[in-house]
Amino acid sequence: SAWSCHWSAVRCSLFCSALPTVRHIETVKMHTWLFVAAGVVFVLTAPDIAAPQADVDAAIAEVFGSEPTPSLPPPDQDNMVSCECVPFYMCKNETSEDYYGEDVIDIRLGESGCAHYLEKCCPVRSTLPDPPRTPRPSPADLRCGVRHEQGVGFKITGGVENEANYGEFPWMVALLRRDWVDDVVSLKVMVCGGSIIHPQVILTGAHCVKGKKDLIVRAGEWDTKTDKEQYPTQDRIVKQIILHDQYYAGGLHNDVALLLLENPLDLNPVVGTICLPAQDENMNGRNCIVTGWGKDVFGNKGKYQEILKRVEQPIIPRGPCQSSLRKTRLGPRFKLHKSLLCAGGQIGKDACKGDGGGPLVCPSMHDPNLYVQAGIVAWGIGCGTEVPAIYVNVAQFRTWIDDKMASLNLV
């Protein structure tokens, strides 16, 4: 076959076509290849049966001055023309007709070929599905304490720093402070963590919010450096701060507060509530989990975390905990207040600066698939040492919480 090329001024493209011999012209089926180089689009048209691969390779070499790069056969040319980087949940699952199925995403490796790990190079098809509606949670999803251990929409791999899966702890919130410059919000600074106990009420530490103004609660957060997650975060203005009337800042006694939001949160798979324990429920011996975006180590070398972290923390009985604390700078006469409990005491596993106000949650005694909040991060001697960390004992405040909720007509 001979090849001829002509320049199209209308399309700014060079078109090259194979000219079959007369004896084949009525029976040959044509096939087209599309190439791009130096910003120029080349269309090579050749007969399927008259031009063997060697002829096509020669034509490519003539146009580009080099041999073609070997590649796999293109998938279904009739239905697919290219691929583009889109949010992972918009790309069709290869094993299903559902475009919004489960995925496994490596947060350390950019294997997708896209700029962000939450994007996929997805085939562009001649017809795309309609954008998905935000799914309405099933009744089971609206129960308190539902942990999504495998994540929502995808499960991460490659995590080496105890990263939580997306939506794994839907009750977790970030407490932010608005900084104002010339009556304009310039930035939102993270103050503490907290937990959702009602669509309009957040449970946190009193030390986080006493004397604070211009507070915002952010729900549905996971990776603080991106907004490419499947569900958008929800920001709500704090309308009212309710401190425990016996809060003592000197020792963080009764360190508990409720935040009433100006507008309720919209519950969905990544925004949900945590269950509360019964009044005076004993949590000793339970294996629990603390979550937050706080520093990885104490001091100037510590870094705040981008992705929400989770750390397993066993509840430590008061006696052994108090004995351990008395061996520190607190001294031999230190007495642990009844409003506090201990957890952790394992080297390298702890909450740290920036995690204050965040929840310590444990599997429920009645249903291990549901979680209850045992503690609120209060204070500790360093981070990740053999000395247990100190948490507010939420079970000591269940009646107080219920009374305050009733006074707000939010039972």
Residue range 99-128, pLDDT digits in tens = 333 455 444 444 556 655 556 667 765 444
Residue range 41-78, pLDDT digits in tens = 444 454 444 445 455 445 444 433 444 444 344 444 44
* pTM, rounded to two decimals: 0.68
Equal CATH topology for 154-261 and 286-396: yes
Residue 220's closest CA among 174, 177, 262, 175? 174
pLDDT at 129: 53
pLDDT at 392: 97
* Bigger pLDDT: 100 vs 153: 153
Residue range 377-405, pLDDT digits in tens = 998 876 666 789 999 999 999 999 999 99
CA atoms within 13 A on the CB side of 54: 0
pLDDT at 277: 97
The CATH fold assigned to 154-261 is Thrombin, subunit H (2.40.10)
Total Cβ atoms within 10 A of residue 190? 17
pLDDT band for position 80 (50/70/90)? very low
Phi-psi region of 118 (alpha: psi -120 to 50; beta: other; left: phi over 0): alpha
* Percent of the chain at pLDDT exceeding 90: 44
Domain ranges for the chain, please list them: 83-123, 154-261, 286-396
| Domain 286-396, CATH homologous superfamily name and number | Trypsin-like serine proteases (2.40.10.10)
